[in-house]
Chains A and B, each alone.
Chain A
């Protein structure tokens, strides 16, 4: 079966040898007819493709790029994913390497002569604020309808991917990166040539007359400009855009017109801390009212480990009449340990095609972050965000902590550390697709008490794409003598052993993961200085006694 969509293929090369190789590849590898352009200006070529291409889509590559055999189906897949995610009329360009929306991080689904790491799967098209120009899939109809062109006078091999994306956003068309467009790129475009092109006065003039930003993130690093600060002056009539805010508003507009994903915030509570619970619910209320056109927020109270001091929550819940609470009460005789039990009963309650965000009742959510979540939520991905750590002092009667100080951040970028036996990601940093958790709960016994969040993340991250985004989504309160700071780790260790044992027995990780890690970071028996000092002190104290 041939490709589904009609796509014109273009190659931009700068030598006769490359041109003949590109032409030959069309026949040899079944790419079909390719229009190969040698020399001239890449920007002009792209503009001319947008104006003259007879197909609805065009794929253009520059330099020494090796397409996979059967790229037609890969292009089909990229078009279908973009149509499904953004709608056929709302996207302009899809590439394989770019700067991700919100995270400002370079994401690349290609191999180059500088980086040969085999990329993972993107899961779905990931919104980008800048693209690399090695391979661009152009939605010709949309670009033409919205009059998106590279402005006259701009030239270069590297900047078209950047400028075209910017012009697209100015006309409300989004751009994205998709692993379906993977290529092997051996072109010599580097940071130096990129910076040279961005230093040209025409580019700078374009930039400073259109945007008020002082820097822009590109795949080759950050470009800085001494841009005018007219927008800050008294009674300013400066109409230039903040590029990144504008992208955020285009994305928000796009996702508010789509069906809203259901996000279940599952608050685990022992019903002992009404003041903390109220703070959490206050922030959920703020989040809800600010993101209601993009997300359908539901609140599930998972009551666990109820003790003597547990109180009714009705009087707290009554203060939030606009929220619909689903209260899941554990049944330890069926489900086992209370923390896992709370997770299981909440997972049973929520809908299959929704998402689950576990928080403890002393955590809180960052209301404004939620508006950025929909582009990152997908049934096939586990979302990991950042969480701020707050050292707090609470007294029983006070509605608020006596002291609250931000002392650090659990960074989503550290999520890979979990495979080394550490848990750098708190429960409230992760948003799971419900179906994935339902599947895990049905396949695993999850025996143990503490570390249940770690176990769930390990299992989930091995069977789904992890989308880690440095977006602050929650605050974690550290107060009192919690489990993490307990000196006696016996119960904790038994739990840890039980969870990891099941993960090992079920073969969650492929064997090469451990082999690779052992090779890279040999595990040495550590004898820390503090341990040695303690040992010496113990011996000294024994001597004193004698």
Chain B
């Protein structure tokens, strides 16, 4: 299903469809006895961290009988993982679509290949998850029948975005370590591949909220994530994150609020202190992508205005939340 179509549906209709898939029958005990599927999109550059951090931490998970880690080689070329296919309870498989693909496309491909039952998890290669991380995510999902996305908590640098301390509700869930309900993912048409990389997690979260589902931050599920923004990025170059978050900020604005918001977003972006050639390339990339989009369904704005303005919102350039601190 095209994700643009799911945008146009009303929440109740969408919920009913999912109810038919026994979405609410989710039981913690059932899922901890089944194989847990984890997708991780990576290239040869990230494999070192994946081997050093993610894989050992998955081997140490409590209450997980078998975990299957699918490494999606997003470059589409060759093989990137040459380690053992099984480490303890962890099975490791490499998937390759044969063409270079972005973050969303890589996960959509893995999803279509594996067809995970109940739920699956997406993980960054540079995450080290605490031993109770997965079981806590599942527990939270089990306790919230209408949760589509449950995100782990980042340590030691907590993400500054807001969440409700009693319910865990949050405007969007970060894809660094995220449980996604399979039923929801199928019905939602997966990740929007137009993003290529960055912000597709914001888009998926908003689509969940708009269709009556919950996006939950689980404080007890912890993953150590020493993110590039805080630790690695240097001022002497531009990173993929600089480029694609800027481009996708404009796309998100257009996708959910239409032409006026797009104009505003472009103006906001052009006011940034990026050099002229950077701005040109971002705009060129956006225009190119927009030229291939189907007609945008006339929707959303009213719905957001009524009920969900505290969840689906843009609070600044590339900011989709209020900051907790």
Q: Is A290 an interface residue (CB 8 A)?
A: yes
Is chain A's interface secondary structure helix, strand, loop, or mixed overall? mixed
Q: Tell which of B6-14, B229-237, B298-306 binds the partner.
A: B229-237
A313 beta carbon closer than 8 Å to chain B = no
* Interface pair B236/A475, CB less than 8 Å apart: no
* 30 A-B contact pairs sorted by A residue (CB < 8 Å): A214-B236, A214-B275, A215-B235, A216-B236, A226-B276, A229-B243, A229-B278, A229-B281, A232-B238, A232-B240, A232-B281, A233-B281, A234-B196, A235-B100, A243-B236, A279-B156, A282-B130, A283-B156, A283-B224, A289-B56, A290-B49, A290-B52, A319-B131, A364-B156, A366-B231, A390-B156, A399-B130, A400-B219, A400-B220, A403-B158
Count how many pairs of residues, one from A and one from B, have CB atoms less than 8 Å apart in the complex: 92
- Contact B236–A368 (Cβ < 8 Å): no
Closest chain-B Cβ to A330's Cβ sits at a distance in Å of 29
Specify which chain A residues have a CB less than 8 angstroms from the CB of B232 in the assembled complex.
Answer: 368
Interface bits B50-93 vs A (CB < 8 Å: 1, else 0): 01110010001000000000000000000000000000000000
Asked if A200 is at the interface of the complex by the 8 Å CB criterion, the answer is no
Residue A300 is within 8 A (CB to CB) of chain B in the complex? no
Taking Cβ atoms with an 8 Å cutoff, the residues of A that contact B are 212-217, 226, 228-229, 232-235, 242-244, 279, 282-283, 285-286, 289-290, 319, 364, 366-368, 390, 399-400, 402-406, 472, 475
Bound complex: CA A338 to CA B52 (Å): 36
Is B21 part of the contact surface with A, judged by Cβ < 8 Å?
no
**Does A405 lie within 8 Å of B158, measured CB to CB?**
yes
Bound: A283/B130 CA distance, A: 11
Contact A228 B231 (CB under 8 A): no
Determine the distance from Cα of A228 to Cα of B238 in the docked complex, in whole angstroms. Answer: 10
The chain A residue with its CB closest to the CB of B221 is: A400
Contact across chains for A399 and B132 when beta carbons are under 8 A apart: yes
Q: Whose C-beta in chain B lies nearest to the C-beta of A391?
A: B325
Query: Within the complex, which residue of B51, B52, B238 is in contact with A214, where a contact is CB–CB below 8 Å?
Result: B238
Q: Which residues of B contact A213 (CB under 8 A)?
A: 236-237
Contact of A368 among B100, B157, B231, B275 (CB under 8 A): B231
Task: Pick the most buried of B132, B237, B285: most chain A CB atoms within 10 A of its CB.
Answer: B237
Q: Is B226 an interface residue (CB 8 A)?
A: yes
Query: How many B residues are at the interface, by size bracket?
Result: 35 or more
Task: Determine whether B48 belongs to the interface, using a CB cutoff of 8 Å to chain A.
Answer: yes
A514 to chain B, nearest CB (A): 39
**Cα distance A217–B222 when bound, in Å?**
38
Asked if residues A368 and B226 are in contact (CB atoms below 8 Å), the reply is: yes
B280-293 vs A, Cβ < 8 Å mask (1 yes, 0 no): 01000100000000
| B156 nearest CB neighbor, chain A only | A475
Determine whether the beta carbon of B158 is less than 8 Å from that of A214: no
Contact indicator A282/B128 (Cβ below 8 Å): yes
Is residue B277 contacting chain A, with contact meaning CB distance below 8 A?
yes
- CB neighbours (8 Å) of B240 from chain A are 232
Evaluate contact between A472 and B128: CB separation under 8 angstroms.
Answer: no
Alpha-carbon gap, A282 to B56, bound state (A):
11
Decide if B189 is an interface residue (CB 8 Å cutoff).
no
Within 98-150 of B, Cβ neighbours of A (below 8 Å) are at 100, 102, 128, 130-132
Q: Give the nearest-CB partner of B278 in chain A.
A: A229
Q: A226's closest neighbor in chain B, by CB? A: B275
A251 to chain B, nearest CB (A): 15
Residues of A within 8 A of B131 (CB): 319
A211 to chain B, nearest CB (A): 9
Shortest Cβ distance from residue B203 to the other chain A in the assembled complex, whole angstroms? 17
What's the least CB distance linking A365 to chain B, in Å?
Answer: 10
Bound Cα distance A364, B128 (Å): 14
Q: Which of A226, A228, A289 has the most CB of B within 10 A?
A: A289
Query: Which of B53, B238, B285 interacts with A234 by CB under 8 Å?
Result: B285
Taking CB atoms, residues of chain A closer than 8 Å to B277 are 226, 228-229
Q: Which among A215, A234, A285, A364 has the greatest number of chain B C-beta atoms within 10 A? A: A234
- The 7 nearest A-B residue pairs measured at CB: A232-B243, A289-B52, A290-B52, A213-B237, A215-B236, A213-B236, A405-B325
By the criterion CB–CB under 8 Å, are A289 and B196 in contact?
no
Most buried by A among B48, B156, B242: B156
**In-complex Cβ contact of B52 among A215, A286, A405 (8 A):** A286
B219 CB, nearest partner CB in chain A, Å: 8
B155 at the interface (CB under 8 A from A): yes
Q: A232-B242, A399-B130 are in contact. List 19 more A-B contacts (CB 8 A).
A: A226-B276, A229-B243, A229-B278, A229-B281, A232-B243, A233-B281, A234-B102, A234-B285, A244-B234, A279-B155, A290-B48, A290-B52, A319-B60, A319-B131, A364-B156, A368-B232, A400-B219, A402-B219, A404-B156
How far is B158's CA from A390's CA once the two chains are assembled, in angstroms?
Answer: 10
In the bound complex, residues from chain B placing their C-beta under 8 Å from that of A285 are: 56, 128
Contact A282 B224 (CB under 8 A): yes
Contact B226 A367 (CB under 8 A): yes
Residues of A close to B234: CB separation below 8 A? 244
Note all chain A residues with C-beta closer than 8 A to B128: 282, 285-286
Which residues of B have CB within 8 Å of A229? 238, 243, 277-278, 281
How far does the alpha carbon of A382 sit from the alpha carbon of B158 in the complex, in Å?
32
Q: Which residues of A contact B56 (CB under 8 A)?
A: 285, 289
B281→A244 contact, CB < 8 A:
no
B69 to chain A, nearest CB (A): 16
State which of A216, A232, A286 has its C-beta within 8 Å of the C-beta of B224.
A286
CB closest chain-A residue, reference B158:
A404
